[in-house]
A and B are shown apart, each in its own frame.
Chain A
Amino acid sequence: MRAYLPDYQCSSANSLSEAFSFLEKGARPIAGGTDIMVLFDAGLLAPGDYVDILGISELKGITKKRNTLTLGALTTYSEVRQHKFLQTNFPILCESAKEVGAVAIQNRGTLGGNIANASPAADFPPALLVYEAKIHLVSSRGMRTIDYTKFHHGYKESELKKDELIHSVSLENHLSKHHHFWRKIGSRKAQAISKTMMAGVLKINKNVIEEVRISFGSVAPTAVRCTEVEKFLTGCPLNKNTIREAKQILLKDIHPIDDIRSTGKYRLAVSQNVLEEFLCGIG
């Protein structure tokens, strides 16, 4: 059923301070609308006041300062995938942006929206987890910064307060000697929401794993870092036995369920295989 228009109100904010005054009166933010408008069209969006934040210039742009790259919350998927520095240094972010929806969605959907929507199937979180991003939240009280690993609390629950906006995400560039891996499994190439997806970075030295970070999406209430697998792999020689054992240990890190897109059993088997694909591809 279509939403009933008079139940909604929406105003545009052109600056952060303007946005805060709307948020403090209970309005909810809308940016690119690629999640909110889907709910709206289906008659499932909570009625009430919304504030359009898409025009706020403080939340836009990608800036580089020494070794730190900062992406404004309103950075679109298209901007991420086309950014040359990101392509070279944070390729998983570009690869994941490239697989969100298709061109028309990528032109509208934003980094901040992808995070704030807090879906376990969101495409950016696995990349942000392995790149150990920091997330900057802003409200009329000021700015606060937290590790991205601490942002998501549970299914659709996050650190973001009702009167706060995601300001930006920052990444440290120190992974030039690492292998970067991204794999998304969906029903088709375009427009698919994932059944499982994996991001991984790994540094190898004389066939011994020196550093590894692995993250999965769509297989737990939030995207997860696979700390058990990482702990096991670090310092191990990369061979068939290591890979076989890592696939078993993965069961401790991820807990996929049956839902509209897939079954827990399928997700688990495929996640194990994707992990194998990652480790076999090194070298």
Chain B
Amino acid sequence: MKKLECIVRPHKLEEVKGALEALGVLGMTVSEVRGVGRQKGHTEHYRGSEYTVDFLPKVKIEVIIPNETLQQAVEAVSKAAKTGKFGDGKIFVFSVEEVIRIRTGEVGAQAI
């Protein structure tokens, strides 16, 4: 089993979710995060003074998938989240040792 940690633009969340669902991925965890990368920050103005916003808002999507779906899932997320400009985000892939469904005690792939 693999875990994908996808950092994407906030307005791309729905598209990414749709793409994953199309692959049969039914569960995911989403957090609002802030980060800095090649996109860098930008300046905003308030009452005549400038201020920099270094950490830009992003959405982090965490999903666990069976090994065989990995390639398709990475492609689907990439396709859905891409605009071609700095700041599209990243996908981190981790190996997952075990998954346990708390309600039933099921383990492994069937617990995903």
- Do chains A and B stick together as partners? no
Residues of B within 8 A of A (CB): none
